[in-house]
Amino acid sequence: MAILLSKKMIAICHYGGEFETYEDGLMVYGGGEAYAVDLEVNMQLSGFKQEIAETIDSNVDEMLVKYFLPGNKKNLITVSKDKDFHRMVNYYKDSDQLEVFVMKDSLPAKTPKKKPVRRPQKKPAETQVAAILPPAIPGPPNPIPLNAVIDIESGNEITPIPDLVPINPFPVAITNNEQHTAAKQWENLITGVGQRFHSLAEFREALRKYSIAHGFNYMYKKNENQRVTVKCKSENCPWRIHASRLSTTQLVCIKTMRPTHTCQGGSIKPAFRATRSWVGNLIKEKVKDSPKIKPKDIANDLKRDYGIELNYSQARRAKEYAREQLLGSYKDAYSELPVFCEKIMETNPGSLAKFCTNKDLSFHRLFVCFHASISGFIQGCRPLIFLDSTPLNSRYQGMLLTATSADGDDGAFPVAFAVVDEETSDNWHWFLSEFKNLVLGHGPITFVADFQKGLRESLPEIFDGECYHAYCLGYLAEKLNKDLTGHFSHDARRLMVEDLYAAAHAPKLEGFEKYTEDIKAISPEAYNWVIRSEPDHWANAFFGGLRYNHMTSNFGNFFYSWVSEANELPITQMIDELRGKLMQLMYTRRVESSQWLTRLTPSMEEKLKTEILKAHSVQVLRSHGSKFEVRFGESIDIVDIENWDCSCKVWLLTGLPCCHAIGVLENYGRGPYDHCSRFVHVEMYQLAYAESINPIPNLERLMDIELDDGTILVTPPPTTRTPGRLKIRKVLPGRVGPADFLKRQLQCGKCKEWFKNYMQQIFEADKRDKVYDQIVEMATNITNMHIATARPSTFSFHEVSKSSIAALSANIKGSSFAKLKSSCHITSTQLLSQNVESSALRFEKMITKAMSGSSDAKPLPGLPIDLRGKKAFIAGVADDNGYGWAIAKSLAAAGAEILVGTWVPALNIFETSLRRGKFDESRVLPDGSLMEITKVYPLDAVYDTPEDVPEDVKTNKRYAGSSKWTVKEVAESVKEDFGSIDILVHSLANGPEVSKPLLETSRYGYLAAISASSYSYVSLLQHFAPIMNPGGATISLTYIASERIIPGYGGGMSSAKAALESDTQVLAFEAGRKHGIRVNTISAGPLRSRAAKAIGFIDMMIDYSSENAPLQKELSAEEVGNAAAFLASPLASAITGTVLYVDNGLNAMGVGVDSPVFKDLDIPRNNKH
């Protein structure tokens, strides 16, 4: 029995999660991952299972497939045979997809059945010997004709089926020019009937390699414990093979084989057989020899050597598997953490290694500080700590938080570090609390760090005011540059950032005011930004602590290089790798410093000698007491010898006496070395590196240690890779200018456009030349119109005007095609006309874009929707086929930065699909780039605060691994991460009883619809409005059912939409008066989205709209997205409290014109929609 498919169908296979049953018997699946498998004509259950097994890297024999009947979420149906499989497909034949749930079969061991008595074999002695034969050597065992079909058990030759095409043992496509040299060794792994294998697994592996070597795909007709039947996957290709176990033995023998191919097998990508584990084993030695090999290079090598085509994600996962085989399991490494931490503290007494888990025992964070490090910091380093973070590129992601000090030679001295699941305020607070316990009684410490992620609040709270917080100048300048982008030219931004650096380094108030006034001359708004950014935390003229002229937090740059080399290792090996680097660093610097002969460290010795030379030119005048007036050139400074102070502030900032102080000291017979900070002396440097870090023996045998009954079994954290995450560019230590992150742009001398680099200039010029050539060719060949212009200059395209394009389009639409049709043997020119007409339109758009020459410094022409520099938060994006996604795309196309909130149970699938590139096609923007989502937040807008969440939801496995997902917490996270937003979009709706008539709707269902679909908008505004910039805009989505009767749209959803529209008007007044923001809603027509399909009659609504709307066409999500972009833009600055209908005009209709009542009326109808 074959599957009868009228259209393409996809099976969404859920794997790795669990079912949860509610009180009413409803079953909900949560967790795990989802994969898509194509259902093909003639597919059987065994082939379907094999497709799934190769996708999820599982075993067919241990697999159970289950599904729900349509409309029944209370009973799971098990698919155990082909008849069940065909029945399941037929249930969903009217849909384009069906959901199945894959589970492991954990049935108890079965009692062996008695086998029926078999007729004795004719040659039992040969059978007995065959049981101990070694693997068969490739080569034909018997002179059997190549196209014969042999039954090995009967020994009779079966008459082969006559071939309808010329015989060819291999696919036709194998004759191409590609030479897959490595795969040639597999060409004879299968030789024909009679070949034996030790097991079915060995046969399957040989078959896999054989098919790769010969370039064809196959599918299983039978795939059982005793026998396997395989056929070529190409339709009507006769190739097939059957193998089964020999009786009384474990050997497997090929019983029948049709070795002839008639297909173009090589044209099919064989990647479906290349599972993660199989490819991982194949490339294991390559990864061992080249640990830094890139997935792209792996994919290229496999294609060249074996003809296997993998995408980037498949190659990356295969590399991860190979690394796991070489280095150990990433997952097992987390379970080793308790013993690993004990070993650290056992081998390095006085050290601290501490880990924490979440409630579900998944990894949360790990703090490590070796005794040698904390002792060296206390004994020999300056009271200066640099706090920074760097992302980990391991399988389970995470962040590394670091605390680094500066030794006496201005070298980075790592003190402590932590691995955390994500960089949050809570994790930084915990890290600082653990660090505080190690430095009790040390005295005031200056921290150089960012001011976000809760650090501004945590530092004074934890250290009770006994610390100074110096803002990292690199982060500050990066934020200023980002806020200025889109408002000022590159040169203007460069000048303001340079002035910011100069103001920060200025030691005196006069210098600070001078440079800030320079900023004010360019932009008063930028000046106000600088003054509001708390200069007492970053400007030398105001800062109260000692940071020894270190202005940026990423001081330990070499530490980041260590992490980049080790962050792909399992967590215990990564920590041990860092320990080994620290151990080597301590030893090397201890040995080097033992040979120094100077009083100061080498770098400080050089700086002091420079100041001594300058001191020969100073003039010293005594003032009174210990104060002196010192003149150096045109500058006059006051030196206070007793207090080690000079008005130039160099002595205070560096710890070394300046040339003014040295001049005074030499006049009074004092040596400058005695007035240097104690931290720059060699003795203090040697104290910092006096202790040693000890190795941890037998690390590879941690799992062999028996764990106590009370030992926590730590599991890996949930993967939280954030798509398109914004990374702050690091400023290298010792660099004080903005050139490290503010790259210079190039401006064309002719068209005055700005380009990022020279190659972009060349690319744009080449692209415009091609467009020009195409237009001229079209105009000449089709319309006989000659454009009398020379080729445009390299970067100027202004010679081709819009009028030329208009003339071209007019001729295309006019008589040109009539002439073309009459002079050529063409029966239909309609399609050709449409293609050329659309091409002309595309050319017009491209020329308009080329002529505009937009840049950061130039406004766009006309009335553009320009949202550059704006941040938009879209609540309710879980896939790529709804209105929320379309709105995000339109806002991104207009230049906005996109943040999204995704329903918590759907978060994992959404992020996985985004990360694996499944949405790449729908992410394409009009300019050809991909929409970037800066951050994805988990969100359940039904709950306002953590206190509102019921206990059963908190413990629900679908919410496990996610935190801070209530409306209040998400708003706080957005504020913490980005400060403020400009656009808020509400794309949320849910009615658990939407399919019920209102008269049958329960109170629970009605209130749930109101809560999720209407009040959620009120809640979002309550919590997000305070962080929205004045002039911001909020948008929600409603439906015509709020004011018209839509049968079937029940469960209180029509009431929820009516409430939403009423609330829009009230909120427009309240939010407008209080926050200066606009509130509007879009009443969108029907869309065939995944959420709309839950209603059950969305296709009928779309058909009805197409028949009865003034514009007879199907509404696209992009049209709603563009309307939202307009409402969010300054073009709609006076529009608020409005319902904007985007439904092809259906809202204006009073009756349905497709009714038989109007059949006699002459109503225009478009039959092409």
Q: Using alpha carbons only, what angle is made at residue 357 by residues 356 and 359, rounded to the nearest 5 degrees?
A: 140
Instruction: Please check whether residue 892 is in contact with residue 1121, taking contact to mean a CB–CB distance below 8 angstroms.
Output: no
Joined tokens for residue 158 = 């079966």
Instruction: Please check whether residue 1121 is in contact with residue 883, taking contact to mean a CB–CB distance below 8 angstroms.
Output: yes
Side by side, the strands of the sheet bearing 218-223 are: 196-197, 252-258, 240-245, 227-232, 218-223
Choice among 1057, 1083, 1105, 1106 that is catalytic? 1057
Rounded Cα gap, residues 494 and 1004, in angstroms: 59
Question: Which one-letter DSSP state was computed for residue 1158?
Answer: G
Choice among 553, 1014, 1036, 1089 that is catalytic? 1014
173: nearest Cα among 114, 217, 222, 129: 217
Neighbours of 941 (CB within 10 A): 24
CA atoms within 13 A on the CB side of 880: 17
Q: Mark whether 962 is an active-site residue.
A: no
Question: What spatial distance separates the first Cα and last Cα of the chain, rounded to whole Å?
Answer: 38
Instruction: Please check whether residue 890 is in contact with residue 1082, taking contact to mean a CB–CB distance below 8 angstroms.
Output: no
Query: Is 85 in a helix, a strand, or coil?
Result: helix
Rounded Cα gap, residues 1148 and 1169, in angstroms: 20
Q: Mark whether 996 is an active-site residue.
A: no
Classify residue 835 as exposed, middle or buried by CB count within 10 Å of its CB (0-12, 13-18, 19+).
Answer: exposed
User: In 382-483, at which residue ranges do the beta strands (DSSP E only) sit?
Assistant: 384-391, 399-406, 412-420, 445-449, 467-471
Q: Using alpha carbons only, what angle is made at residue 56 by residues 53 and 61, rounded to the nearest 5 degrees?
A: 30
873: nearest Cα among 1029, 1066, 990: 1029
From residue 257, how far is each of 165, 199, 228 by CA, in Å? 18, 18, 12
Rounded Cα gap, residues 984 and 1018, in angstroms: 12
886 alpha carbon, distance to own chain's centre? 19
Query: Is 175 in a helix, a strand, or coil?
Result: helix
Joined tokens for residue 138 = 């490739």
Query: Is 387 in a helix, a strand, or coil?
Result: strand
Give me the sign of the Cα torsion angle 50, 56, 60, 66: negative
Instruction: Return the residue matching tokens 């029940």.
Output: 1050
Instruction: Please check whether residue 1025 is in contact with residue 1074, taking contact to mean a CB–CB distance below 8 angstroms.
Output: yes
Contacts of 721 (CB under 8 A, 6+ apart): 397, 911, 915
- Rg of the chain over Cα atoms, rounded to whole angstroms, equals 36
The region that residue 1165 occupies, defined by phi over 0 for left and psi between -120 and 50 for alpha, beta otherwise, is beta
Residues marked active site are found at 1014, 1057
